[in-house]
Amino acid sequence: MLLEAKKVSFRYYKDVWLFQDVDFQLQSGEVVGLRGPSGCGKTTFARILSGYEKPHTGLVSIDHEPVQKKGYQPVQLIFQHPEKAVNPKWKMKSILEEGGQINPDLLELLGIQREWLNRWPNELSGGELQRFCVARALNDETKFIIADEMTTMLDAITQAQIWSAVLEIVKQKEIGLLVISHEQALIERLCNRVIDFNHDNI
Ligand SMILES: Nc1ncnc2c1ncn2[C@@H]1O[C@H](COP(=O)(O)OP(=O)(O)OP(=O)(O)O)[C@@H](O)[C@H]1O
């Protein structure tokens, strides 16, 4: 499968373009890095690819078809701050079920303890909560994952556990993975291809 952006442009304010005419492609099974200076629009572009934001011009498609708004979104975005990505009024079990049926093997791979399912989001650490956000995003229907500074706030051990689980699933299911990060070493270790958001003609 191919996730593609063609001539995508976006601005928050009239006459001030954040980016213009961006072309981008991500194939199933590819792990691609996206880097660029703070404020250049990486998160905004990630939001456009995953359908949270509409571009002013251009198109996002999967296999040349526009992505449907209804139903499960095949492009899943994992944010830097998991506490902003969950409903604080739901228990973790319900939050996880937003991504479909709970897969016990996935919970084990991500180090999610069963008893955490009965807790509220504010009863978990940032790393524990991010594991849930990752599990929720890895539904069987997920075709592409965008990891936007997914482990930046976490300690080295938690980072390593989460990346190891994500890479295993991505490989198993041939998911296309876009890694947005300021960590050069992480990008170099994980990615087959790296895009400079400001410089490459992507
Ligand atoms: N909702 C919004 N309304 C207006 N401006 C916004 C909004 N969201 C982001 N911006 C601005 O758009 C620019 C791009 O933001 P974005 O978060 O996409 O950049 P980024 O490359 O991901 O940055 P960082 O690396 O710091 O996360 C920034 O200058 C930001 O202040």
Whose alpha carbon is nearest atom 25 of ligand 1? 38
DSSP-assigned beta bridge partners for residue 147: 78, 179
Contact residues of ligand 1, CB 6 A cut-off? 12, 18, 36, 38-44
* Residue 162: how many other CB atoms lie within 10 Å: 22
Asked, for residue 151, whether it belongs to a domain, the answer is yes
CATH number at residue 40: 3.40.50.300
Q: Which of 106, 102, 85, 96 is nearest to 170 (CA)?
A: 106
Cα 113 to ligand 1 centroid, rounded to whole Å: 35
Decide if 201 is inside a domain: no
Write the residue with the smallest CA distance to atom 1 of ligand 1.
Answer: 12
Q: Tell me how many domains the chain contains.
A: 1
Does residue 199 register a pLDDT over 80?
no
Q: Is residue 133 part of a domain?
A: yes
Least confident segment among 64-68, 72-76, 96-100, 198-202: 198-202
Q: Is residue 64 part of a domain?
A: yes
pLDDT in tens, 25-58: 999 999 999 999 999 999 999 999 999 999 999 9
* β-bridge mates for residue 146, sequence order: 77, 178
- The number of CA neighbours under 13 Å toward the Cβ of 110 is 25
**What DSSP character marks residue 166?**
H
- pLDDT-derived band at 72 (thresholds 50, 70, 90) equals confident
Could you tell me which residues are beta bridge partners of residue 35? Answer: 196
Q: Comparing C-alpha atoms, which of 93, 71, 72, 92 is closest to residue 83?
A: 92
What's the confidence (pLDDT) of residue 69? 79
For ligand 1, atom 28, the nearest C-alpha belongs to 39
**Ligand 1 center to residue 46 CA distance, Å?**
11
pLDDT over 50 at 128, yes or no = yes
pLDDT over 90 percentage in the chain: 90
Nearest CA to ligand 1 atom 31: 39
pLDDT above 80 for 22: yes
- Please tell me the predicted confidence (pLDDT) of residue 174: 96
Q: Name the residue at shortest CA distance from atom 4 of ligand 1.
A: 12
Say whether pLDDT at 71 is over 90: no
Mean pLDDT of 114-142: 96
> pLDDT confidence of 139, banded at 50, 70, 90?
confident
pLDDT tens readout for residues 79-120: 999 999 999 999 999 999 998 899 999 999 999 999 999 999
How far apart CA 133 and CA 116 sit, in angstroms, is 13
Q: What is the CA radius of gyration of the chain?
A: 17
Domain coverage including residue 28: 2-196
CA distance 95 to 100: 10
**For the CA of 46, the nearest atom of ligand 1:** 18
The residue nearest atom 11 of ligand 1, judged by CA position, is 39
Please determine, for residue 201, whether its predicted confidence score (pLDDT) is greater than 50. Answer: no
Most informative mutation of 15, 20, 44, 54 for ligand 1 (most atoms within 8 A of CB): 44
- CB atoms near residue 156 (< 10 Å): 8
Specify the ligand 1 atom closest to the Cα of 44: 18
**pTM metric for this prediction:** 0.94
Structural domain includes residue 202: no
Tell me whether residue 179 is in a domain: yes
Q: Which residues pair with 182 in a beta bridge?
A: none
Ranking 15-29, 46-60, 68-82, 158-172 by mean pLDDT, the lowest is 68-82
Mean pLDDT, rounded, for 150-173: 94
